[in-house]
Amino acid sequence: METPRVRRELSYENKMEVVTRLQQLTIMGKLVRGAISTTAKHMQLHRTTVSNIWEGFKRNSRMPSGKLGKLGRVGGKTINTSSIVTTLVSEVPEEQRSTLRDISQATRLSMGTLSRRLNDGTIERKNTRLKPLLTRSDLRRGVMFDGKIGMWPVVKYLPAARNSRNRPAGTIVPTIVNVDAVLYRDYVITRVVPAIKAKFPSVNKKVVLQHDNATPHGAITDAILACVSTDGWTFVVQRQPPNSPDLNVLDLGYFASIQSLQNKVVSHSIDDVIQSTLEAISSEKLENVFHTFQAVMRLVNGSNHFPLPHLKKDAKRRAGTLSANLSCPASLLG
């Protein structure tokens, strides 16, 4: 004896079985006597249910649909109707609705609600790339070090050479300059190293600076860093291995984060770009990048043939289980 069904609604497969059985009990297009009762008993259904399925099949001349096809007001009530969603989304400033995550954050609507309205055409997608919303700060726990050493725009403030609609000639404006060896050495010695000494928590005060193999970076050597290795601090430099962008924290996540700003923030000047960059990079974003960086170091094993690990950092952070650092297997220490 078959187990009786517990669902209120009959599944599509059960409807198909009912129709198939009744078709086998048909002679010259008519059911034999007792066919509905026999099928209802076998399927453990009420004979009215079986009769309704058969009548619907004859009326439509096709197999039953997987959809319920009910008329009237049935199913759960829609809390956020199309008009409500349209109103809420239209009230969000344009720069805050470039992604579904941005809209969800601004309207308090769930991602599922927005996805359904996007699929049914209530809201329309424009040409843009979806990027995660960068959270602003670490609100749940205090940290000794938030991952931020500092950011210094490489510009010079010079008087404008010509008039424009925004300012007269002679106004001091930021001007982009080329990064050469002299400029790079000056920024490292006078900005980066003092910031590390002021913010970086270290027991042995030994810091390894890593940079890629760009030509200006050759200006920084261990001999140059010896002049700032004072007060118990020791600074040395290591070059990034060639063809290994995943071993560079900047390539791994920082550049992608600041690149997404051009689609989220409208900047009219270099000052706007600098200000937006300084506001956007949160401690949580940098923490995510360093977690991925540590995971990559465990996988690299001298080659680039490894998948970039997905650690579900945001989910662990919400659950309060995200560790400060990843553990290093003993097999890698040999």
CATH code at position 27: 1.10.10
Note whether 169 and 235 are same-domain residues: yes
Note whether 99 and 240 are same-domain residues: no
Q: Are 227 and 198 in contact (CB under 8 A)?
A: no
Note whether 110 and 250 are same-domain residues: no
Q: Which residues pair with 31 in a beta bridge?
A: 26
Q: Can you tell me the distance from the alpha carbon of 211 to that of 311, in angstroms, rounded to the nearest whole number? A: 25
Whether the pLDDT of residue 67 is over 60: the answer is no
Regarding predicted confidence, which is higher, 78 or 322? 322
Residue at 136 is within a domain: no
Note whether 246 and 183 are same-domain residues: yes
Please choose, from the candidates 56, 78, 77, the residue with its C-alpha nearest in 3D space to the C-alpha of residue 67: 56
pLDDT band, very low/low/confident/very high, at 134 (cuts 50, 70, 90): very low
pLDDT of residue 136: 37
Whether the pLDDT of residue 75 is over 70: the answer is no
Q: Do β-strands 206-211 and 234-239 pair in parallel, antiparallel, or remain unpaired?
A: parallel
pLDDT of residue 185: 92
- Structural domain containing residue 109: 82-119
Note whether 5 and 109 are same-domain residues: no
DSSP track, 64-106:
PPSS----SS-SSPPSS-HHHHHHHHHTS-GGG-SSHHHHHHH
Please choose, from the candidates 99, 96, 100, 120, the residue with its C-alpha nearest in 3D space to the C-alpha of residue 109: 100
pLDDT band, very low/low/confident/very high, at 186 (cuts 50, 70, 90): very high
Residue at 143 is within a domain: no
Write out pLDDT tens, residues 88-97. 888 888 778 7
Residue at 290 is within a domain: yes
Note whether 201 and 93 are same-domain residues: no
Q: Can you tell me the distance from the alpha carbon of 190 to that of 185, in angstroms, rounded to the nearest whole number? A: 8
Note whether 29 and 159 are same-domain residues: no
Residue at 40 is within a domain: yes
Note whether 15 and 109 are same-domain residues: no
Mean pLDDT of the chain: 78
Residue at 148 is within a domain: no
pLDDT band, very low/low/confident/very high, at 102 (cuts 50, 70, 90): confident
Residue at 313 is within a domain: yes
The single-letter DSSP state of residue 330 is: G
Note whether 195 and 265 are same-domain residues: yes
Residue at 140 is within a domain: no
Whether the pLDDT of residue 162 is over 70: the answer is yes
CATH code at position 248: 3.30.420.10
Mean pLDDT of 266-285: 72
pLDDT of residue 235: 92
Mean pLDDT of 13-33: 86
pLDDT of residue 327: 80
Residue given tokens 């300084």 in the structure block: 278
Note whether 49 and 93 are same-domain residues: no
Residue at 292 is within a domain: yes
Residues of the chain above pLDDT 70, percent: 77
Note whether 12 and 57 are same-domain residues: yes
CA angle centred on 253, ends 247 and 258, rounded to 5°: 140
Mean pLDDT lowest for which of 73-77, 109-113, 232-236, 273-277?
A: 73-77
User: How many structural domains compose the chain?
Assistant: 3
pLDDT of residue 261: 65
Note whether 49 and 89 are same-domain residues: no
